[in-house]
Amino acid sequence: MSRLDQYVAGAVSTESTIDEVKINKHFLTQILSMHISTGNILDQIKKHAFYNREYNFLTIDDELVSIGRELKSISNLTVTDLATEVTLDINPRIFHALLGAATESVELLEAIDFDGDMDLVNIGEVFGDLNWYQAIFCDAAGITWDDILDT
């Protein structure tokens, strides 16, 4: 057994599992849409900074319009709306891994400090958390970490 396989087994042993995901799908979809839009803008910033690509301002504008539309829609939700939940047709373990990786990525962005005082220990812990979610995904999807690394 490789060290990565042992890591996956260790991660699975600490995993909190549920049988099904019950959530307000409309609210979740709106939040995911905004997160994806901001991620697409960040991708353009990354490509501009590291690969010298020009910004696509039309795409950025479209993403900002999408964020605004979703914010407006969310602001109209009531407590009753949010309490209306459905069971999602999704593997709860894979969904947990995806949401976990997304939220840990946000923690990495929160750690950016342009004054140079970044907490590298905390950043390392967040990268460890990202690896934990990746390990859960590997187990839930029935693939090995080596498969991911080979790809």
User: pLDDT for 45-67, tens place per residue?
Assistant: 999 999 999 999 999 999 999 99
User: What is the full DSSP assignment across 112-123?
Assistant: --TTS---HHHH
User: pLDDT for 99-114, tens place per residue?
Assistant: 999 999 999 999 999 9
Burial status of residue 8 (CB atoms within 10 A of its CB: 0-12, 13-18, 19 or more):
buried
Q: Which long-range contacts (CB under 8 A, 24 or more apart) does 119-124 make?
A: none
pLDDT at 61: 98
pLDDT at 5: 82
Assess contact for 138 and 148: CB atoms under 8 A.
yes
Would the pLDDT of 4 be above 90?
A: no
Residue 116 banded pLDDT, cuts 50, 70, 90: confident
Mean predicted confidence (pLDDT) in 12-41: 95
Calculate the alpha carbon distances from 132 to 7, 30, 50, 110, 151 in Å: 8, 26, 28, 19, 19
Mean predicted confidence (pLDDT) in 135-141: 96
Mean predicted confidence (pLDDT) in 33-40: 97
pLDDT at 9: 87
Distance (Å, whole) CA 105 – CA 111: 10
Query: Which H helix or E strand runs over 66?
Result: helix 57-75
Would the pLDDT of 1 be above 70?
A: no
Assess contact for 52 and 125: CB atoms under 8 A.
no
